[in-house]
Structure 1
């Protein structure tokens, strides 16, 4: 089960993102910012499009993860205003881990907490919440 972080920010102009070829959903700019911001600490893959937004893969403390983002933006909205975002963290698990209920994703997972704290400490991200 994935874990999600919700927040608001006006840090990104989603109208300048390249088009998602699957679904007209925004969120690429956050992942590109994270890749640049964390390039010394984490190797995050090139973002890819999904029907629900954008995603990347990374390794953290010996585990593999999928991170994803989506911005709530519709035609006619002002892209320079504060937008609502959702950021997801999902842990890849082996068949054996799933079978025996091991290494489950949770809100106390190190990778999840890393990103939660990153958003909480940055003054450009407002109303950071876990759901």
Structure 2
């Protein structure tokens, strides 16, 4: 169990950027997952929110590949981050809501979209496909 030094963090982030430049999405995903495994424990206590960064990269690759079942597992992992635990962050809730919506788990999607809305109002949905806001705003009671 070790917290990474500033130098180790720089190398780690640099490697993540290299992985991000890999052409093939499946190869990028495989490399991001391997790098997640290399992140020292305690993963969620590493500096610079490295855990959040890698989770986000893996999640986005899975969404791009339309693998919503696996994306949901990573979105749930994202709920363990310090940012998700902040009462001001809506991002992780939107992400989890998006995957549930795509998996047609609409009740669960509403649950997460509602929390996101409580935390960030309509602007929580701003960066995402309009269909999520339309679904939430039409379905909320």
Greater relative CO, 1 or 2 (CA 8 Å, sep 6+): 1
- Pair member with larger Rg: 2
**Smaller-chain TM-score range?**
under 0.3
Q: Normalized against structure 2, the TM-score is what?
A: 0.24
Q: Normalized against structure 1, the TM-score is what?
A: 0.26
